[in-house]
């Protein structure tokens, strides 16, 4: 029988945790016993509501404002987590943005912003958190299945950013293996969130299972990867997309 509180005594930091997939991950880690710090950028009301909901369930969580496109703010989130909880065992980098346009229409400033959040922000999170992670800790990035299959026009820059994360994870897994820290990348397919509003009709025909993923399903894979039994999984990009990439 699995211990539902396996993460008791552990501390997690989730970058981008106030809504959608991130909020589901925060809730899952808290339910599994971890103390959780999470960041938000533009939704303080949702962040505070999530903290309050978790408190009602006797879970400890804190919300930290941080723009993942600003490396200094990412570092501050790591520092504040350590100041509050005294340790760091799990890092989940979920923060990301998605803008769609064909290559001839994609504005350079939008390109720079997507790279800043989706690539540089991931690097910053791993760079600043890695020295503080406990032996045998866990790092999980949330990528996208577009790194495997684009599927429709307008996704070139988003796909590039997520492919970069998949490549980064492979190398970081080797860097941190001597400390027993596993580093993995989850690649969700179409998932019901604010980010995917307006594209459901476009992507559903590409999903053999015929539906969008629920956020709890992505969080469930995170819940597995942080467990002790997943200690031999590292450097992997795990796609969870209802067959979209088949």
List active site positions. 158
Separation of CA 208 from chain center: 24
Query: Whole-angstrom Cα distance, residue 44 to residue 168?
Result: 30
Residues 6+ apart with CB under 8 A from 176: 130, 133, 139, 182, 183
CA dihedral 147, 97, 75, 240 (to 10 degrees): -40
Phi, psi of 235 (to 5 degrees): 75, 15
Residue 73, Cβ density class (10 Å: 0-12 exposed, 13-18 middle, ≥19 buried): middle
Angle at CA 107, nearest 5°, toward 102 and 109? 145
Query: Whole-angstrom Cα distance, residue 100 to residue 27?
Result: 29
């Amino acid at each position: 029988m699995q211990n539902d509180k396996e993460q008791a005594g552990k501390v997690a930091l989730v970058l981008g945790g106030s809504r959608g997939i991130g909020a589901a991950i925060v809730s899952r880690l808290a339910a599994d016993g971890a103390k959780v710090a999470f960041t938000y950028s533009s939704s303080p009301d949702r962040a505070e509501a999530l903290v309050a909901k978790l408190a009602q369930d006797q879970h400890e969580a804190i919300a930290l404002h941080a723009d993942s496109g600003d490396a200094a703010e990412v570092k501050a989130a790591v520092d504040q987590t350590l100041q509050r909880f005294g340790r760091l065992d799990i890092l989940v980098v979920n923060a990301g943005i998605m803008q769609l346009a064909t290559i001839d229409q994609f504005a350079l400033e939008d390109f720079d912003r997507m790279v800043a959040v989706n690539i540089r922000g991931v690097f910053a999170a791993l760079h600043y958190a890695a020295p503080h992670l406990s032996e045998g800790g866990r790092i999980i990035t949330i990528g996208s299945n577009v790194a495997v299959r684009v599927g429709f026009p307008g996704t070139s820059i988003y796909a590039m950013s997520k492919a970069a994360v998949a490549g980064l994870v492979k190398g970081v897994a080797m860097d941190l293996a001597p400390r027993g820290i596993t580093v993995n990348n989850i690649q969700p397919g179409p998932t019901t969130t604010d980010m995917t509003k307006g594209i459901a009709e476009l992507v559903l025909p590409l999903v053999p299972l015929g539906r969008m993923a629920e956020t709890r399903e992505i969080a469930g894979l995170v819940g597995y990867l942080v467990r002790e039994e997943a200690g031999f999984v590292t450097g992997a990009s795990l796609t969870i997309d209802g067959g979209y990439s088949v």
